[in-house]
Amino acid sequence: MPEIQNLKFTKMLPTQGLEVSALVRRAADTSEGNGFTPQGRAAFERYTEPLAIEQRGGMGYEHELAWVSGVLVGMVETKGCRISMLYVHPEYANKGLGSRLVTRAVPRCAASNSSAKHIFIHAMDGVTGFYERVGFVRSGTRKESAGIFATPYKLALSSNPPRAKLRSASVDFFVFSGTGNTLLVARTMAEALEQEGLTVRTRDLEGLCPALSEVAAVGLAFPVACFSTYPSVWRFIDSMPPGEGREVFMAATCAGLGMRMQGPVRGALLEKGYKPIGAKIFLMPGNYNKRTLPLEKNAARVEQTLQEARFFALDLLGGKTEWSKGIPKLSQLLYRLAQTRQPWDFFYKYICPIAADPEKCVRCGRCAGECPTKAITLMEEGYPAIDAALCQSCQRCVGFCPRGALGVPGKFFEPYRAMSYEEFKRADG
Protein backbone atom coordinates (compact mmCIF):
# COMPACT_ATOMS: atom_id res chain seq x y z
CA MET A 1 0.00 0.00 0.00
CA PRO A 2 1.63 3.31 -1.02
CA GLU A 3 2.27 5.59 1.96
CA ILE A 4 0.63 9.01 1.93
CA GLN A 5 3.39 11.58 2.32
CA ASN A 6 3.09 14.68 4.52
CA LEU A 7 -0.13 13.55 6.14
CA LYS A 8 -1.25 15.71 9.05
CA PHE A 9 -4.25 15.39 11.38
CA THR A 10 -6.06 18.27 13.08
CA LYS A 11 -9.24 18.82 15.04
CA MET A 12 -11.88 20.67 13.03
CA LEU A 13 -12.04 24.41 13.71
CA PRO A 14 -15.51 25.98 14.11
CA THR A 15 -15.02 27.73 10.75
CA GLN A 16 -14.10 24.73 8.63
CA GLY A 17 -17.61 23.41 7.93
CA LEU A 18 -17.49 24.53 4.31
CA GLU A 19 -14.33 22.59 3.50
CA VAL A 20 -15.54 19.52 5.37
CA SER A 21 -18.92 19.61 3.68
CA ALA A 22 -17.30 19.85 0.22
CA LEU A 23 -15.07 16.85 0.94
CA VAL A 24 -17.89 14.71 2.33
CA ARG A 25 -20.24 15.45 -0.60
CA ARG A 26 -17.54 14.84 -3.19
CA ALA A 27 -16.52 11.55 -1.54
CA ALA A 28 -20.14 10.39 -1.20
CA ASP A 29 -20.89 11.21 -4.84
CA THR A 30 -18.00 9.09 -6.07
CA SER A 31 -18.59 6.21 -3.68
CA GLU A 32 -20.43 3.27 -5.21
CA GLY A 33 -23.60 2.00 -3.58
CA ASN A 34 -24.16 4.90 -1.24
CA GLY A 35 -27.67 3.62 -0.66
CA PHE A 36 -29.49 6.94 -1.04
CA THR A 37 -33.13 7.15 -2.05
CA PRO A 38 -34.21 10.67 -3.14
CA GLN A 39 -35.46 11.19 0.41
CA GLY A 40 -32.12 9.92 1.73
CA ARG A 41 -30.21 12.24 -0.56
CA ALA A 42 -32.13 15.20 0.88
CA ALA A 43 -31.43 14.02 4.44
CA PHE A 44 -27.75 13.64 3.59
CA GLU A 45 -27.65 17.14 2.08
CA ARG A 46 -29.15 18.55 5.27
CA TYR A 47 -26.76 16.59 7.49
CA THR A 48 -23.74 17.75 5.53
CA GLU A 49 -24.66 21.46 5.31
CA PRO A 50 -21.53 23.42 6.37
CA LEU A 51 -23.43 25.12 9.17
CA ALA A 52 -24.95 21.83 10.39
CA ILE A 53 -21.46 20.31 10.62
CA GLU A 54 -20.10 23.32 12.50
CA GLN A 55 -23.07 23.29 14.89
CA ARG A 56 -22.60 19.63 15.70
CA GLY A 57 -19.06 20.56 16.74
CA GLY A 58 -20.63 22.39 19.68
CA MET A 59 -23.04 19.56 20.49
CA GLY A 60 -20.68 16.83 21.64
CA TYR A 61 -19.61 15.69 18.17
CA GLU A 62 -15.90 15.54 17.42
CA HIS A 63 -14.33 15.96 14.01
CA GLU A 64 -10.83 14.94 13.08
CA LEU A 65 -9.46 16.05 9.72
CA ALA A 66 -6.62 14.65 7.60
CA TRP A 67 -4.60 17.01 5.41
CA VAL A 68 -1.92 16.68 2.75
CA SER A 69 -0.07 19.91 1.93
CA GLY A 70 -3.01 22.06 3.02
CA VAL A 71 -5.63 19.98 1.14
CA LEU A 72 -8.36 18.27 3.16
CA VAL A 73 -8.20 14.56 2.28
CA GLY A 74 -10.20 12.83 5.00
CA MET A 75 -12.52 13.34 7.93
CA VAL A 76 -14.14 11.37 10.71
CA GLU A 77 -17.05 12.55 12.85
CA THR A 78 -17.72 10.80 16.15
CA LYS A 79 -20.11 11.20 19.01
CA GLY A 80 -19.53 9.09 22.10
CA CYS A 81 -19.03 5.54 20.89
CA ARG A 82 -20.51 6.11 17.45
CA ILE A 83 -18.79 7.02 14.20
CA SER A 84 -21.36 9.11 12.39
CA MET A 85 -19.35 9.97 9.24
CA LEU A 86 -16.01 8.91 7.79
CA TYR A 87 -15.02 10.08 4.33
CA VAL A 88 -11.82 10.06 2.31
CA HIS A 89 -11.03 12.19 -0.74
CA PRO A 90 -11.45 9.93 -3.84
CA GLU A 91 -7.81 10.49 -4.85
CA TYR A 92 -6.67 9.16 -1.49
CA ALA A 93 -8.95 6.11 -1.39
CA ASN A 94 -7.38 2.66 -0.86
CA LYS A 95 -4.21 4.11 0.64
CA GLY A 96 -4.85 3.18 4.25
CA LEU A 97 -6.22 6.61 5.22
CA GLY A 98 -9.67 5.29 6.18
CA SER A 99 -8.15 2.74 8.50
CA ARG A 100 -5.93 5.42 10.08
CA LEU A 101 -8.98 7.60 10.69
CA VAL A 102 -10.71 4.65 12.39
CA THR A 103 -7.61 3.91 14.48
CA ARG A 104 -7.47 7.54 15.58
CA ALA A 105 -11.19 7.62 16.38
CA VAL A 106 -11.03 4.52 18.59
CA PRO A 107 -9.24 6.01 21.64
CA ARG A 108 -11.51 9.06 21.49
CA CYS A 109 -14.64 6.91 21.45
CA ALA A 110 -13.27 4.68 24.20
CA ALA A 111 -12.38 7.71 26.34
CA SER A 112 -15.92 9.06 26.05
CA ASN A 113 -17.28 6.13 28.04
CA SER A 114 -14.94 4.01 30.14
CA SER A 115 -17.42 1.11 30.36
CA ALA A 116 -18.11 1.00 26.61
CA LYS A 117 -17.42 -2.33 24.99
CA HIS A 118 -18.01 -1.42 21.34
CA ILE A 119 -17.84 1.34 18.77
CA PHE A 120 -20.78 1.50 16.38
CA ILE A 121 -21.35 2.60 12.83
CA HIS A 122 -24.13 2.35 10.26
CA ALA A 123 -22.27 1.41 7.07
CA MET A 124 -23.71 2.15 3.66
CA ASP A 125 -23.51 -0.62 1.07
CA GLY A 126 -20.34 0.52 -0.69
CA VAL A 127 -18.24 0.59 2.48
CA THR A 128 -19.26 -2.52 4.42
CA GLY A 129 -16.19 -4.37 3.04
CA PHE A 130 -13.92 -1.61 4.35
CA TYR A 131 -15.38 -1.80 7.86
CA GLU A 132 -15.07 -5.58 7.89
CA ARG A 133 -11.40 -5.27 6.87
CA VAL A 134 -10.63 -2.96 9.78
CA GLY A 135 -12.24 -5.28 12.31
CA PHE A 136 -15.94 -4.32 12.53
CA VAL A 137 -18.53 -7.10 12.60
CA ARG A 138 -22.12 -6.93 11.46
CA SER A 139 -24.48 -6.43 14.38
CA GLY A 140 -27.87 -6.32 12.64
CA THR A 141 -29.69 -6.34 9.34
CA ARG A 142 -29.57 -3.77 6.57
CA LYS A 143 -32.32 -1.26 7.15
CA GLU A 144 -33.62 1.96 5.71
CA SER A 145 -33.74 5.04 7.88
CA ALA A 146 -34.71 8.50 6.55
CA GLY A 147 -34.20 7.17 3.03
CA ILE A 148 -30.70 5.84 3.60
CA PHE A 149 -29.96 2.11 3.53
CA ALA A 150 -27.28 1.04 5.96
CA THR A 151 -26.11 -1.98 7.92
CA PRO A 152 -25.16 -1.70 11.61
CA TYR A 153 -21.60 -2.72 12.49
CA LYS A 154 -19.68 -2.76 15.74
CA LEU A 155 -16.07 -2.96 16.72
CA ALA A 156 -15.13 -4.64 20.02
CA LEU A 157 -13.05 -2.27 22.11
CA SER A 158 -11.37 -5.12 23.94
CA SER A 159 -9.64 -6.25 20.75
CA ASN A 160 -8.95 -2.72 19.75
CA PRO A 161 -7.18 -0.93 18.21
CA PRO A 162 -6.88 -3.80 15.73
CA ARG A 163 -3.32 -4.90 16.42
CA ALA A 164 -1.20 -2.55 14.41
CA LYS A 165 1.75 -3.71 12.33
CA LEU A 166 4.91 -1.73 11.92
CA ARG A 167 4.65 -0.71 8.28
CA SER A 168 7.34 1.97 7.94
CA ALA A 169 10.39 0.97 5.91
CA SER A 170 12.77 2.84 8.19
CA VAL A 171 13.15 3.48 11.90
CA ASP A 172 14.74 6.26 13.96
CA PHE A 173 15.68 4.17 16.99
CA PHE A 174 16.46 6.41 19.98
CA VAL A 175 18.33 4.65 22.77
CA PHE A 176 19.29 5.67 26.27
CA SER A 177 21.38 3.24 28.23
CA GLY A 178 23.16 3.79 31.53
CA THR A 179 25.26 0.66 31.63
CA GLY A 180 24.66 -1.08 28.30
CA ASN A 181 21.70 -3.41 29.01
CA THR A 182 19.25 -1.37 26.97
CA LEU A 183 21.80 -0.79 24.23
CA LEU A 184 22.27 -4.56 23.87
CA VAL A 185 18.53 -5.09 23.52
CA ALA A 186 18.17 -2.20 21.06
CA ARG A 187 21.07 -3.38 18.91
CA THR A 188 19.62 -6.88 18.80
CA MET A 189 16.25 -5.53 17.73
CA ALA A 190 17.84 -3.23 15.14
CA GLU A 191 19.72 -6.17 13.65
CA ALA A 192 16.54 -8.26 13.45
CA LEU A 193 14.63 -5.41 11.77
CA GLU A 194 17.47 -4.81 9.31
CA GLN A 195 17.46 -8.49 8.41
CA GLU A 196 13.82 -8.02 7.47
CA GLY A 197 14.81 -5.22 5.09
CA LEU A 198 14.18 -2.13 7.24
CA THR A 199 16.67 0.71 7.52
CA VAL A 200 17.39 1.40 11.17
CA ARG A 201 19.17 4.52 12.32
CA THR A 202 20.24 4.16 15.96
CA ARG A 203 20.37 7.57 17.62
CA ASP A 204 21.02 8.89 21.13
CA LEU A 205 18.02 9.40 23.36
CA GLU A 206 19.70 12.27 25.21
CA GLY A 207 19.01 15.97 25.45
CA LEU A 208 16.04 17.14 23.38
CA CYS A 209 14.57 15.18 20.48
CA PRO A 210 16.27 16.15 17.19
CA ALA A 211 14.43 16.42 13.86
CA LEU A 212 13.01 13.04 12.85
CA SER A 213 13.75 11.38 9.53
CA GLU A 214 10.96 12.13 7.07
CA VAL A 215 8.93 8.93 6.94
CA ALA A 216 10.56 6.80 9.62
CA ALA A 217 8.83 5.11 12.53
CA VAL A 218 10.21 6.01 15.95
CA GLY A 219 11.68 3.42 18.31
CA LEU A 220 12.38 4.32 21.93
CA ALA A 221 14.59 2.22 24.21
CA PHE A 222 15.52 3.07 27.80
CA PRO A 223 15.81 1.49 31.26
CA VAL A 224 13.09 1.32 33.86
CA ALA A 225 14.12 3.44 36.84
CA CYS A 226 12.21 3.91 40.07
CA PHE A 227 9.21 2.12 38.47
CA SER A 228 9.16 4.74 35.74
CA THR A 229 12.12 5.99 33.78
CA TYR A 230 14.79 8.65 34.12
CA PRO A 231 13.92 12.38 34.02
CA SER A 232 16.21 12.73 30.97
CA VAL A 233 14.07 10.17 29.11
CA TRP A 234 10.84 11.93 30.05
CA ARG A 235 12.34 15.25 28.92
CA PHE A 236 13.21 13.70 25.58
CA ILE A 237 9.68 12.30 25.14
CA ASP A 238 8.18 15.68 26.08
CA SER A 239 10.33 17.34 23.41
CA MET A 240 9.28 14.99 20.60
CA PRO A 241 7.50 16.76 17.73
CA PRO A 242 3.80 16.07 17.00
CA GLY A 243 3.46 12.47 15.82
CA GLU A 244 0.87 13.03 13.06
CA GLY A 245 0.18 9.32 12.94
CA ARG A 246 3.85 8.31 12.90
CA GLU A 247 4.40 4.77 14.15
CA VAL A 248 6.21 4.30 17.45
CA PHE A 249 7.40 1.30 19.48
CA MET A 250 9.13 1.03 22.82
CA ALA A 251 11.58 -1.37 24.45
CA ALA A 252 12.57 -0.91 28.08
CA THR A 253 14.83 -3.01 30.28
CA CYS A 254 14.39 -3.65 33.98
CA ALA A 255 15.77 -5.84 36.72
CA GLY A 256 12.46 -7.38 37.73
CA LEU A 257 9.82 -4.78 38.46
CA GLY A 258 8.73 -2.76 35.43
CA MET A 259 5.33 -1.88 36.98
CA ARG A 260 3.85 -1.57 33.48
CA MET A 261 5.47 1.83 33.11
CA GLN A 262 4.93 1.56 29.36
CA GLY A 263 1.32 2.72 30.08
CA PRO A 264 2.21 6.36 30.83
CA VAL A 265 4.68 6.40 27.92
CA ARG A 266 1.87 5.25 25.64
CA GLY A 267 -0.39 7.99 27.02
CA ALA A 268 2.23 10.68 26.39
CA LEU A 269 2.84 9.47 22.82
CA LEU A 270 -0.87 9.15 22.01
CA GLU A 271 -1.34 12.69 23.26
CA LYS A 272 1.28 13.82 20.77
CA GLY A 273 -0.45 11.99 17.92
CA TYR A 274 1.88 8.99 17.53
CA LYS A 275 0.56 5.58 16.59
CA PRO A 276 1.67 3.05 19.22
CA ILE A 277 2.58 -0.31 17.69
CA GLY A 278 4.01 -2.26 20.58
CA ALA A 279 5.95 -2.02 23.81
CA LYS A 280 7.79 -4.56 25.89
CA ILE A 281 9.79 -4.47 29.10
CA PHE A 282 12.73 -6.89 29.00
CA LEU A 283 14.32 -8.46 32.03
CA MET A 284 18.05 -7.77 32.31
CA PRO A 285 20.57 -7.92 35.18
CA GLY A 286 20.22 -5.26 37.84
CA ASN A 287 22.86 -2.59 37.39
CA TYR A 288 23.19 -1.19 40.90
CA ASN A 289 24.63 -4.26 42.54
CA LYS A 290 26.95 -3.51 45.34
CA ARG A 291 28.04 -7.12 45.58
CA THR A 292 29.80 -9.79 43.60
CA LEU A 293 28.00 -10.18 40.32
CA PRO A 294 26.33 -13.52 39.56
CA LEU A 295 28.11 -13.72 36.20
CA GLU A 296 26.70 -17.04 34.98
CA LYS A 297 23.17 -16.19 35.99
CA ASN A 298 23.49 -12.80 34.33
CA ALA A 299 24.86 -14.32 31.10
CA ALA A 300 21.96 -16.79 30.89
CA ARG A 301 19.48 -14.01 31.58
CA VAL A 302 20.98 -11.79 28.87
CA GLU A 303 20.99 -14.59 26.31
CA GLN A 304 17.33 -15.36 26.91
CA THR A 305 16.34 -11.69 26.80
CA LEU A 306 18.17 -11.06 23.53
CA GLN A 307 16.26 -13.94 21.97
CA GLU A 308 13.03 -12.34 23.23
CA ALA A 309 14.17 -9.02 21.72
CA ARG A 310 14.58 -10.68 18.29
CA PHE A 311 11.08 -12.14 18.55
CA PHE A 312 9.67 -8.80 19.65
CA ALA A 313 11.16 -7.09 16.58
CA LEU A 314 9.57 -9.69 14.31
CA ASP A 315 6.28 -9.46 16.18
CA LEU A 316 6.23 -5.71 15.54
CA LEU A 317 6.33 -6.47 11.84
CA GLY A 318 3.76 -9.26 12.19
CA GLY A 319 1.22 -7.17 14.12
CA LYS A 320 1.48 -9.38 17.19
CA THR A 321 2.61 -6.86 19.78
CA GLU A 322 0.65 -4.97 22.37
CA TRP A 323 1.19 -1.89 24.49
CA SER A 324 -0.16 -2.09 28.02
CA LYS A 325 -2.20 0.84 29.29
CA GLY A 326 -0.52 0.48 32.68
CA ILE A 327 -1.92 -0.21 36.13
CA PRO A 328 -5.03 1.90 36.82
CA LYS A 329 -4.22 4.90 39.01
CA LEU A 330 -0.84 3.53 40.19
CA SER A 331 0.86 4.07 36.81
CA GLN A 332 -0.23 7.71 36.76
CA LEU A 333 0.98 8.18 40.33
CA LEU A 334 4.41 6.71 39.57
CA TYR A 335 4.58 8.75 36.38
CA ARG A 336 3.90 11.95 38.29
CA LEU A 337 6.39 11.01 41.01
CA ALA A 338 9.09 10.44 38.39
CA GLN A 339 8.61 14.01 37.17
CA THR A 340 9.71 15.26 40.59
CA ARG A 341 13.19 14.98 42.10
CA GLN A 342 11.98 12.83 45.01
CA PRO A 343 12.81 9.32 43.72
CA TRP A 344 16.17 10.41 42.36
CA ASP A 345 17.15 12.31 45.49
CA PHE A 346 16.14 9.30 47.58
CA PHE A 347 18.10 6.90 45.40
CA TYR A 348 21.18 9.08 45.42
CA LYS A 349 21.09 9.76 49.12
CA TYR A 350 20.13 6.38 50.55
CA ILE A 351 20.96 3.75 47.97
CA CYS A 352 23.76 4.91 45.80
CA PRO A 353 25.58 8.11 46.82
CA ILE A 354 28.32 8.09 44.20
CA ALA A 355 31.78 9.50 44.84
CA ALA A 356 35.21 9.10 43.27
CA ASP A 357 38.04 7.36 45.12
CA PRO A 358 41.06 9.64 44.62
CA GLU A 359 43.37 6.66 45.13
CA LYS A 360 41.98 4.99 42.01
CA CYS A 361 40.87 7.97 39.89
CA VAL A 362 43.23 8.77 37.00
CA ARG A 363 41.45 12.05 36.23
CA CYS A 364 40.63 11.00 32.66
CA GLY A 365 37.32 12.91 32.74
CA ARG A 366 35.35 10.12 31.04
CA CYS A 367 32.69 10.21 33.77
CA ALA A 368 32.08 13.93 33.23
CA GLY A 369 31.97 13.52 29.45
CA GLU A 370 29.48 10.64 29.60
CA CYS A 371 27.10 11.95 32.26
CA PRO A 372 23.72 12.44 30.54
CA THR A 373 22.60 15.16 32.95
CA LYS A 374 25.94 17.01 33.22
CA ALA A 375 25.89 16.28 36.95
CA ILE A 376 29.64 15.61 36.96
CA THR A 377 32.15 18.40 36.66
CA LEU A 378 35.91 18.17 37.05
CA MET A 379 37.45 20.05 39.93
CA GLU A 380 40.66 22.02 39.53
CA GLU A 381 42.82 18.98 40.22
CA GLY A 382 40.79 16.98 37.65
CA TYR A 383 38.83 14.85 40.14
CA PRO A 384 35.10 14.52 39.48
CA ALA A 385 32.56 16.34 41.64
CA ILE A 386 28.97 15.07 41.48
CA ASP A 387 26.04 17.41 41.83
CA ALA A 388 23.47 15.32 43.71
CA ALA A 389 20.71 17.67 42.60
CA LEU A 390 21.32 16.79 38.95
CA CYS A 391 22.36 13.13 39.22
CA GLN A 392 19.69 10.63 38.12
CA SER A 393 21.72 7.63 39.29
CA CYS A 394 21.90 5.94 35.90
CA GLN A 395 25.22 4.32 36.92
CA ARG A 396 26.98 5.09 33.65
CA CYS A 397 29.89 6.78 35.38
CA VAL A 398 30.20 3.87 37.79
CA GLY A 399 29.91 1.22 35.08
CA PHE A 400 32.39 2.70 32.63
CA CYS A 401 35.08 4.26 34.84
CA PRO A 402 38.26 2.63 33.49
CA ARG A 403 39.63 2.23 37.03
CA GLY A 404 36.47 1.38 38.95
CA ALA A 405 37.06 4.58 40.90
CA LEU A 406 33.40 5.61 41.19
CA GLY A 407 30.98 4.01 43.60
CA VAL A 408 29.44 4.19 47.03
CA PRO A 409 32.13 5.43 49.41
CA GLY A 410 33.20 2.93 52.03
CA LYS A 411 31.28 0.01 50.51
CA PHE A 412 32.52 -2.97 48.64
CA PHE A 413 31.07 -2.90 45.16
CA GLU A 414 31.58 -4.41 41.77
CA PRO A 415 30.42 -2.06 39.04
CA TYR A 416 27.99 -3.54 36.53
CA ARG A 417 28.25 -2.97 32.81
CA ALA A 418 26.78 -5.06 30.02
CA MET A 419 29.66 -4.46 27.61
CA SER A 420 33.06 -2.81 27.34
CA TYR A 421 33.30 0.95 26.96
CA GLU A 422 34.57 0.50 23.38
CA GLU A 423 31.48 -1.58 22.52
CA PHE A 424 29.28 0.98 24.26
CA LYS A 425 30.70 3.77 22.09
CA ARG A 426 30.63 1.81 18.83
CA ALA A 427 28.73 3.84 16.25
CA ASP A 428 25.53 2.21 15.02
CA GLY A 429 23.20 2.64 12.14
Q: Does 286 bind ligand FMN (CB under 6 A)?
A: yes
Give the binding range for ligand FMN (CB under 6 A) out of 44-52, 89-97, 207-215, 248-256: 248-256
Which residue lies nearer to ligand FMN by CB, 262 or 287? Answer: 287
Q: Which is nearer to ligand FMN, 166 or 284 (CB)?
A: 284
Report if residue 255 touches ligand FMN, rule: CB under 6 A: yes
Site for ligand FMN in 81-120 (CB under 6 A): none
Q: Residues 48, 78, 160, 179: which binds ligand FMN (CB under 6 A)? A: 179
Given candidates 367, 395, 405, 413, which one binds ligand FMN under the rule CB under 6 A?
Answer: 395
Choose the binding region for ligand FMN from 14-22, 90-98, 174-182, 241-249 (rule: CB under 6 A). Answer: 174-182
**Which of residues 78 and 182 has its CB atom nearest to ligand FMN in the complex?**
182
Using CB under 6 A as the binding criterion, the count of chain residues that bind ligand FMN stands at 26
CB of 234 to ligand FMN, least distance (A): 14
Q: How far apart are CA 386 and CA 363, in angstroms?
A: 14
The phi and psi torsions of 327 (rounded to 5 degrees) equal -95, 125
Count of helices and strands (H, E) across the chain: 14, 17
Least CB distance from residue 395 to ligand FMN, whole Å? 5
Q: Does 16 bind ligand FMN (CB under 6 A)?
A: no
354/397 Cα distance (integer angstroms):
9
Q: How far is CA 243 from the centre of its chain?
A: 9
* Residue 223 in the binding site for ligand FMN (CB under 6 A): yes
**Torsion, CA 398, CA 402, CA 404, CA 405, rounded to 10:** -90
Cβ at position 418, least distance to ligand FMN in Å: 6
Give the ranges where 117-230 is alpha helix by DSSP (H). 128-133, 181-195
**Cα 259 to Cα 334: distance, rounded to the nearest angstrom:** 9
Q: Nearer Cβ to ligand FMN, position 376 or 394?
A: 394
Is there binding between residue 182 and ligand FMN (CB under 6 A)? yes
Chain-centre distance for alpha carbon 216: 13
Kindly state whether residue 177 participates in binding ligand FMN, applying the rule CB under 6 A.
Answer: yes
Ranges within 132-171 binding ligand FMN (CB under 6 A): none
Give the Cβ contact number of residue 340 at 10 Å: 10
| 284 forms part of the interface with ligand FMN (CB under 6 A) | yes
Q: Which is nearer to ligand FMN, 12 or 186 (CB)?
A: 186
Q: DSSP per residue over 50-112, as a string?
A: HHHHHHHHTTT-EEEEEEETTEEEEEEEEETTEEEEEEE-GGGTTSSHHHHHHHHHHHHHHHH
3-state SS, residue 172 = strand
Task: Out of 38, 70, 256, 328, point to the residue binding ligand FMN (CB under 6 A).
Answer: 256
- In DSSP terms, which residues pair with 406 in a beta bridge? 356
Stretch near ligand FMN under the rule CB under 6 A, chosen from 9-17, 96-104, 279-287, 376-384: 279-287
Q: Distance from CA of residue 264 to its chain's centroid?
A: 10
Query: Considering beta carbons, is residue 135 or 180 the nearer one to ligand FMN?
Result: 180
Rounded alpha-carbon distances, angstroms, from residue 125 to 128, 134, 149, 396: 6, 16, 7, 60
DSSP 237-302: HHTPPP-TT-EEEEEEEESS--TTTHHHHHHHHHHTT-EEEEEEEEE---S---S---HHHHHHHH
Judged by CB under 6 A, which of 226, 240, 265, 371 binds ligand FMN? 226
Angle at 398 between CA 397 and CA 400, to 5 degrees: 65
Site for ligand FMN in 355-394 (CB under 6 A): 393-394
Q: Which residue is nearest to ligand FMN (CB)?
A: 178
Binding test (CB under 6 A) with ligand FMN, winner from 23, 72, 86, 254 = 254
Provide the minimum distance between the beta carbon of 71 and ligand FMN in the complex, in angstroms, as a whole number: 44
Task: State the residues that interact with ligand FMN by CB under 6 A.
Answer: 177-182, 223-227, 253-258, 284, 286-288, 347, 393-395, 418
